Structure 1
Protein backbone atom coordinates (compact mmCIF):
# COMPACT_ATOMS: atom_id res chain seq x y z
CA UNK A 1 0.00 0.00 0.00
CA UNK A 2 1.29 3.45 -0.83
CA UNK A 3 2.10 5.90 1.94
CA UNK A 4 -0.59 8.53 1.08
CA UNK A 5 -3.31 5.83 1.22
CA UNK A 6 -2.06 4.62 4.62
CA UNK A 7 -2.12 8.19 5.94
CA UNK A 8 -5.65 8.69 4.60
CA UNK A 9 -6.87 5.47 6.26
CA UNK A 10 -5.27 6.43 9.59
CA UNK A 11 -6.78 9.91 9.32
CA UNK A 12 -10.28 8.52 8.63
CA UNK A 13 -10.02 6.01 11.49
CA UNK A 14 -8.79 8.73 13.86
CA UNK A 15 -11.61 11.08 12.89
CA UNK A 16 -14.21 8.29 13.28
CA UNK A 17 -12.90 7.35 16.71
CA UNK A 18 -12.81 11.02 17.76
CA UNK A 19 -16.43 11.57 16.67
CA UNK A 20 -17.49 8.41 18.53
CA UNK A 21 -15.78 9.57 21.74
CA UNK A 22 -17.21 13.08 21.30
CA UNK A 23 -20.74 11.71 20.91
CA UNK A 24 -20.37 9.60 24.09
CA UNK A 25 -19.03 12.61 25.98
CA UNK A 26 -21.89 14.76 24.71
CA UNK A 27 -24.48 12.19 25.82
CA UNK A 28 -22.92 11.86 29.27
CA UNK A 29 -23.00 15.65 29.67
CA UNK A 30 -26.68 15.78 28.70
CA UNK A 31 -26.21 16.91 25.11
CA UNK A 32 -28.07 15.31 22.20
CA UNK A 33 -26.80 15.74 18.67
CA UNK A 34 -29.72 15.80 16.25
CA UNK A 35 -28.80 14.94 12.67
CA UNK A 36 -32.32 14.15 11.45
CA UNK A 37 -34.51 16.57 9.48
CA UNK A 38 -37.40 16.21 11.98
CA UNK A 39 -36.04 19.10 14.07
CA UNK A 40 -33.40 21.71 13.32
CA UNK A 41 -30.02 19.96 13.05
CA UNK A 42 -27.71 20.72 15.96
CA UNK A 43 -27.07 20.34 19.66
CA UNK A 44 -29.80 20.00 22.31
CA UNK A 45 -29.19 20.07 26.07
CA UNK A 46 -31.24 18.22 28.69
CA UNK A 47 -33.04 20.76 30.92
CA UNK A 48 -35.07 20.42 34.10
CA UNK A 49 -38.27 21.98 32.80
CA UNK A 50 -41.90 20.84 32.61
CA UNK A 51 -43.34 19.25 29.50
CA UNK A 52 -45.37 22.03 27.89
CA UNK A 53 -46.65 22.79 24.40
CA UNK A 54 -43.75 23.91 22.24
CA UNK A 55 -41.10 22.08 24.28
CA UNK A 56 -38.72 19.62 22.66
CA UNK A 57 -38.60 16.19 24.29
CA UNK A 58 -36.55 13.01 24.03
CA UNK A 59 -38.65 9.85 24.26
CA UNK A 60 -38.39 6.09 23.98
CA UNK A 61 -40.96 4.79 21.52
CA UNK A 62 -43.39 2.21 22.91
CA UNK A 63 -42.87 -1.38 21.78
CA UNK A 64 -45.57 -1.58 19.14
CA UNK A 65 -45.70 -2.80 15.54
CA UNK A 66 -45.48 0.65 13.92
CA UNK A 67 -42.11 1.31 15.60
CA UNK A 68 -40.82 -2.14 14.57
CA UNK A 69 -41.66 -1.17 10.99
CA UNK A 70 -39.99 2.22 11.47
CA UNK A 71 -36.80 0.58 12.77
CA UNK A 72 -36.80 -2.00 9.95
CA UNK A 73 -37.18 0.76 7.35
CA UNK A 74 -34.56 2.98 9.07
CA UNK A 75 -37.01 5.80 9.84
CA UNK A 76 -35.69 5.57 13.40
CA UNK A 77 -32.31 4.46 14.70
CA UNK A 78 -31.54 1.44 16.80
CA UNK A 79 -30.68 2.21 20.37
CA UNK A 80 -31.01 1.45 24.07
CA UNK A 81 -34.76 1.90 24.46
CA UNK A 82 -36.94 -1.21 24.93
CA UNK A 83 -37.39 -2.96 21.60
CA UNK A 84 -33.92 -1.83 20.52
CA UNK A 85 -35.26 1.57 19.43
CA UNK A 86 -33.24 4.76 19.66
CA UNK A 87 -34.46 7.85 21.50
CA UNK A 88 -36.46 10.23 19.35
CA UNK A 89 -36.56 14.02 19.62
CA UNK A 90 -39.87 15.71 18.80
CA UNK A 91 -41.80 18.82 19.74
CA UNK A 92 -44.90 18.81 21.98
CA UNK A 93 -48.00 20.12 20.19
CA UNK A 94 -50.80 18.96 22.51
CA UNK A 95 -51.25 17.77 26.07
CA UNK A 96 -53.93 17.27 28.71
CA UNK A 97 -57.25 18.85 27.76
CA UNK A 98 -56.36 19.55 24.13
CA UNK A 99 -58.70 18.26 21.40
CA UNK A 100 -56.75 16.33 18.75
CA UNK A 101 -57.83 15.13 15.32
CA UNK A 102 -55.40 13.08 13.21
CA UNK A 103 -56.61 12.60 9.63
CA UNK A 104 -55.21 12.25 6.09
CA UNK A 105 -55.37 16.03 5.61
CA UNK A 106 -53.27 16.62 8.72
CA UNK A 107 -53.39 17.12 12.44
CA UNK A 108 -55.72 19.58 14.14
CA UNK A 109 -55.29 20.73 17.75
CA UNK A 110 -58.27 22.54 19.25
CA UNK A 111 -59.58 23.06 15.71
CA UNK A 112 -56.34 24.60 14.38
CA UNK A 113 -54.57 22.83 11.49
CA UNK A 114 -50.86 22.25 12.20
CA UNK A 115 -48.44 23.12 9.37
CA UNK A 116 -46.64 20.27 7.58
CA UNK A 117 -48.86 17.66 9.27
CA UNK A 118 -50.64 16.00 6.31
CA UNK A 119 -50.11 12.25 6.11
CA UNK A 120 -48.24 10.80 3.17
CA UNK A 121 -49.51 7.52 1.74
CA UNK A 122 -46.03 6.21 0.86
CA UNK A 123 -42.41 6.90 1.83
CA UNK A 124 -39.53 7.87 -0.50
CA UNK A 125 -39.09 4.17 -1.41
CA UNK A 126 -42.81 3.96 -2.33
CA UNK A 127 -43.55 1.74 0.68
CA UNK A 128 -47.00 2.31 2.20
CA UNK A 129 -47.16 4.38 5.38
CA UNK A 130 -49.60 3.75 8.25
CA UNK A 131 -52.78 5.78 7.98
CA UNK A 132 -53.41 6.53 11.65
CA UNK A 133 -56.74 8.10 12.62
CA UNK A 134 -57.73 9.64 15.95
CA UNK A 135 -60.23 12.09 17.39
CA UNK A 136 -59.98 12.61 21.16
CA UNK A 137 -59.39 14.93 24.08
CA UNK A 138 -56.00 14.16 25.65
CA UNK A 139 -55.81 13.01 29.26
CA UNK A 140 -53.08 13.82 31.81
CA UNK A 141 -50.72 11.14 30.52
CA UNK A 142 -50.97 11.75 26.75
CA UNK A 143 -48.89 13.95 24.45
CA UNK A 144 -48.93 14.74 20.75
CA UNK A 145 -45.33 14.82 19.46
CA UNK A 146 -44.33 15.74 15.94
CA UNK A 147 -42.19 17.82 13.63
CA UNK A 148 -43.45 21.13 12.32
CA UNK A 149 -40.41 21.62 10.07
CA UNK A 150 -40.47 18.43 7.99
CA UNK A 151 -43.61 17.29 6.15
CA UNK A 152 -41.99 13.83 5.73
CA UNK A 153 -41.14 13.26 9.41
CA UNK A 154 -42.09 9.97 11.05
CA UNK A 155 -44.16 11.32 13.92
CA UNK A 156 -47.62 11.38 15.54
CA UNK A 157 -49.38 11.43 12.17
CA UNK A 158 -48.26 7.77 11.79
CA UNK A 159 -47.99 6.48 15.39
CA UNK A 160 -50.46 8.56 17.41
CA UNK A 161 -50.08 9.77 20.97
CA UNK A 162 -47.15 9.11 23.31
CA UNK A 163 -47.64 8.30 27.00
CA UNK A 164 -45.95 10.44 29.67
CA UNK A 165 -43.84 7.52 30.89
CA UNK A 166 -42.22 7.23 27.43
CA UNK A 167 -40.86 10.80 27.66
CA UNK A 168 -37.41 10.75 29.23
CA UNK A 169 -36.29 14.39 29.13
CA UNK A 170 -37.11 17.89 28.02
CA UNK A 171 -34.36 19.28 25.79
CA UNK A 172 -33.60 22.79 24.65
CA UNK A 173 -31.73 23.77 21.45
CA UNK A 174 -28.22 25.04 22.22
CA UNK A 175 -26.84 25.47 18.71
CA UNK A 176 -28.80 24.62 15.55
CA UNK A 177 -28.63 25.37 11.85
CA UNK A 178 -30.79 24.87 8.77
CA UNK A 179 -30.67 21.69 6.73
Structure 2
Protein backbone atom coordinates (compact mmCIF):
# COMPACT_ATOMS: atom_id res chain seq x y z
CA UNK A 1 0.00 0.00 0.00
CA UNK A 2 2.78 2.44 0.93
CA UNK A 3 4.59 1.59 -2.31
CA UNK A 4 1.46 2.40 -4.36
CA UNK A 5 1.09 5.77 -2.61
CA UNK A 6 4.78 6.52 -3.22
CA UNK A 7 4.49 5.65 -6.92
CA UNK A 8 1.35 7.74 -7.23
CA UNK A 9 3.05 10.72 -5.52
CA UNK A 10 6.06 10.44 -7.85
CA UNK A 11 3.78 10.21 -10.89
CA UNK A 12 1.90 13.35 -9.81
CA UNK A 13 5.19 15.22 -9.31
CA UNK A 14 6.49 14.15 -12.72
CA UNK A 15 3.25 15.12 -14.48
CA UNK A 16 3.23 18.48 -12.66
CA UNK A 17 6.81 19.15 -13.72
CA UNK A 18 6.03 18.25 -17.34
CA UNK A 19 2.97 20.54 -17.39
CA UNK A 20 5.04 23.37 -15.85
CA UNK A 21 7.84 22.99 -18.42
CA UNK A 22 5.34 22.77 -21.29
CA UNK A 23 3.52 25.89 -20.09
CA UNK A 24 6.80 27.85 -20.09
CA UNK A 25 7.60 26.54 -23.56
CA UNK A 26 4.15 27.47 -24.80
CA UNK A 27 4.43 31.00 -23.38
CA UNK A 28 7.81 31.49 -25.04
CA UNK A 29 6.23 30.43 -28.35
CA UNK A 30 3.23 32.74 -27.82
CA UNK A 31 0.73 30.13 -26.69
CA UNK A 32 -1.24 30.33 -23.46
CA UNK A 33 -2.99 27.45 -21.77
CA UNK A 34 -6.26 28.41 -20.12
CA UNK A 35 -7.47 26.02 -17.42
CA UNK A 36 -9.94 28.39 -15.75
CA UNK A 37 -13.72 28.34 -16.24
CA UNK A 38 -13.75 32.04 -17.25
CA UNK A 39 -13.01 31.16 -20.90
CA UNK A 40 -13.16 27.92 -22.85
CA UNK A 41 -10.43 25.59 -21.58
CA UNK A 42 -7.64 25.14 -24.09
CA UNK A 43 -4.83 26.75 -26.03
CA UNK A 44 -4.71 30.42 -27.08
CA UNK A 45 -2.23 31.89 -29.59
CA UNK A 46 -0.89 35.45 -29.41
CA UNK A 47 -1.99 37.33 -32.54
CA UNK A 48 -1.06 40.72 -33.95
CA UNK A 49 -4.56 42.20 -34.08
CA UNK A 50 -6.17 45.35 -32.71
CA UNK A 51 -8.09 45.33 -29.46
CA UNK A 52 -11.75 45.37 -30.49
CA UNK A 53 -14.97 44.18 -28.86
CA UNK A 54 -15.22 40.42 -28.68
CA UNK A 55 -11.50 39.55 -28.76
CA UNK A 56 -9.69 37.81 -25.95
CA UNK A 57 -6.76 39.57 -24.33
CA UNK A 58 -3.99 38.65 -21.91
CA UNK A 59 -3.41 41.36 -19.31
CA UNK A 60 -1.44 42.10 -16.17
CA UNK A 61 -3.73 43.11 -13.33
CA UNK A 62 -2.93 46.46 -11.70
CA UNK A 63 -1.22 46.33 -8.30
CA UNK A 64 -4.02 47.10 -5.84
CA UNK A 65 -5.96 45.74 -2.85
CA UNK A 66 -8.57 43.94 -4.96
CA UNK A 67 -5.94 41.91 -6.82
CA UNK A 68 -3.97 41.33 -3.59
CA UNK A 69 -7.18 39.79 -2.21
CA UNK A 70 -7.63 37.80 -5.43
CA UNK A 71 -4.16 36.25 -5.28
CA UNK A 72 -4.53 35.51 -1.54
CA UNK A 73 -7.82 33.72 -2.24
CA UNK A 74 -6.35 31.91 -5.27
CA UNK A 75 -8.67 33.56 -7.82
CA UNK A 76 -5.53 34.10 -9.88
CA UNK A 77 -2.13 32.50 -10.02
CA UNK A 78 1.16 34.13 -9.10
CA UNK A 79 3.27 35.29 -12.02
CA UNK A 80 5.59 37.88 -13.52
CA UNK A 81 3.23 40.86 -13.52
CA UNK A 82 3.75 43.71 -11.02
CA UNK A 83 2.60 42.63 -7.58
CA UNK A 84 3.56 39.04 -8.38
CA UNK A 85 0.28 38.44 -10.22
CA UNK A 86 -0.12 36.10 -13.16
CA UNK A 87 -1.57 37.16 -16.50
CA UNK A 88 -5.33 36.88 -16.88
CA UNK A 89 -7.25 36.09 -20.06
CA UNK A 90 -10.62 37.82 -20.55
CA UNK A 91 -12.87 38.98 -23.38
CA UNK A 92 -13.27 42.67 -24.32
CA UNK A 93 -16.87 43.85 -23.86
CA UNK A 94 -16.48 47.64 -23.95
CA UNK A 95 -13.93 50.21 -25.11
CA UNK A 96 -13.56 53.88 -25.99
CA UNK A 97 -16.90 55.67 -26.34
CA UNK A 98 -19.00 52.94 -24.73
CA UNK A 99 -21.20 53.79 -21.76
CA UNK A 100 -20.68 51.32 -18.91
CA UNK A 101 -22.80 50.92 -15.80
CA UNK A 102 -21.84 48.39 -13.09
CA UNK A 103 -23.88 47.67 -9.98
CA UNK A 104 -25.37 44.72 -8.04
CA UNK A 105 -27.68 43.86 -10.96
CA UNK A 106 -24.71 43.40 -13.27
CA UNK A 107 -23.01 45.18 -16.12
CA UNK A 108 -24.73 47.27 -18.76
CA UNK A 109 -22.91 48.40 -21.91
CA UNK A 110 -24.68 51.10 -23.92
CA UNK A 111 -27.87 50.24 -22.05
CA UNK A 112 -27.71 46.49 -22.77
CA UNK A 113 -27.47 44.10 -19.80
CA UNK A 114 -24.66 41.59 -20.28
CA UNK A 115 -25.67 37.98 -19.54
CA UNK A 116 -24.10 36.31 -16.50
CA UNK A 117 -22.76 39.65 -15.21
CA UNK A 118 -24.69 39.91 -11.93
CA UNK A 119 -22.39 40.63 -8.99
CA UNK A 120 -22.23 38.03 -6.27
CA UNK A 121 -21.94 39.13 -2.64
CA UNK A 122 -19.81 36.14 -1.59
CA UNK A 123 -17.45 33.70 -3.28
CA UNK A 124 -17.69 29.89 -3.26
CA UNK A 125 -15.99 29.83 0.17
CA UNK A 126 -18.41 32.33 1.71
CA UNK A 127 -15.91 35.22 1.62
CA UNK A 128 -17.29 38.69 0.78
CA UNK A 129 -16.59 39.97 -2.74
CA UNK A 130 -15.87 43.60 -3.65
CA UNK A 131 -18.99 45.47 -4.72
CA UNK A 132 -17.60 47.64 -7.52
CA UNK A 133 -19.74 50.48 -8.86
CA UNK A 134 -19.25 52.49 -12.04
CA UNK A 135 -21.12 54.77 -14.38
CA UNK A 136 -18.88 56.17 -17.11
CA UNK A 137 -18.18 56.69 -20.78
CA UNK A 138 -14.88 54.93 -21.48
CA UNK A 139 -11.94 56.89 -22.82
CA UNK A 140 -9.25 55.72 -25.27
CA UNK A 141 -7.25 53.91 -22.59
CA UNK A 142 -10.06 52.04 -20.78
CA UNK A 143 -11.40 48.53 -21.40
CA UNK A 144 -14.10 46.41 -19.82
CA UNK A 145 -12.90 42.79 -19.58
CA UNK A 146 -14.95 39.87 -18.32
CA UNK A 147 -16.26 36.37 -18.85
CA UNK A 148 -19.57 35.68 -20.54
CA UNK A 149 -19.32 31.96 -19.72
CA UNK A 150 -18.96 31.81 -15.97
CA UNK A 151 -21.30 33.78 -13.67
CA UNK A 152 -18.74 33.23 -10.84
CA UNK A 153 -15.76 34.59 -12.77
CA UNK A 154 -13.49 37.13 -11.08
CA UNK A 155 -13.72 39.92 -13.64
CA UNK A 156 -14.75 43.58 -14.19
CA UNK A 157 -17.74 43.12 -11.86
CA UNK A 158 -15.26 43.14 -9.00
CA UNK A 159 -12.16 44.98 -10.26
CA UNK A 160 -13.53 47.51 -12.74
CA UNK A 161 -11.85 48.80 -15.87
CA UNK A 162 -8.42 47.82 -17.17
CA UNK A 163 -6.03 50.36 -18.68
CA UNK A 164 -4.58 49.86 -22.18
CA UNK A 165 -1.02 49.67 -20.88
CA UNK A 166 -1.95 46.61 -18.79
CA UNK A 167 -3.05 44.64 -21.85
CA UNK A 168 -0.13 42.60 -23.16
CA UNK A 169 -1.56 40.78 -26.18
CA UNK A 170 -4.63 39.85 -28.12
CA UNK A 171 -5.05 36.07 -28.10
CA UNK A 172 -7.17 33.80 -30.24
CA UNK A 173 -8.41 30.32 -29.33
CA UNK A 174 -6.50 27.62 -31.20
CA UNK A 175 -7.92 24.48 -29.61
CA UNK A 176 -10.57 24.57 -26.87
CA UNK A 177 -13.10 22.25 -25.31
CA UNK A 178 -15.99 22.52 -22.85
CA UNK A 179 -15.56 22.11 -19.11
Structure 1 runs (4+) greater than 3 angstroms displaced: 1-14
Change (3 A) 1:44 1:5: same
| Aligned partner of residue 57 in structure 1, secondary structure | strand
Q: Distance in 2 between matches of 1:16 and 1:27?
A: 17
Q: Distance in 1 between matches of 2:139 and 2:172?
A: 25
User: How many angstroms does 1:13 deviate by?
Assistant: 3.7
Measured after TM superposition, the shift of residue 7 of structure 1 is 5.2
- Do the aligned partners of residues 50 and 127 (structure 1) sit closer, same or farther apart at CA in structure 2, a change above 3 Å counting? same
Equivalent residue number for residue 151 of structure 1: 151
Partners of 1:5 and 1:70 in 2: how far apart? 33
Alignment-derived partner of residue 170 in structure 1: 170
CA–CA distance in 2 between the matches of 1:142 and 1:162? 6
SS of the residue 1:51 aligns to? coil
Matches of 2:178 and 2:69, distance apart in 1: 28
* Structure 2 portions without partners, runs of 5+: none
Once structures 1 and 2 are overlaid, which stretch shifts more, 140-149 or 1-10?
Answer: 1-10
Q: Structure 1 stretch 29-38 or stretch 3-12: which is displaced more?
A: 3-12
Aligned-partner SS, 2:45: strand
How far residue 11 of structure 1 moved from its aligned partner, in angstroms, is: 3.8
> Does the alignment pair 1:95 with 2:95?
yes
2:73 aligned partner: 73
Number of positions where the alignment pairs a residue of Structure 1 with one of Structure 2: 179
Correspondences of 1:13-162 after superposition (within 5 Å)? 13-162=13-162
TM-score normalized with structure 1 length: 0.95
1:33 aligned counterpart, secondary structure: strand
- Gap regions ≥5 residues in structure 1: none
Distance 1:9 1:74 in 2: 23
Give 1:14 shift: 3.2
> Tell me, what secondary structure is at the counterpart of 2:172?
strand
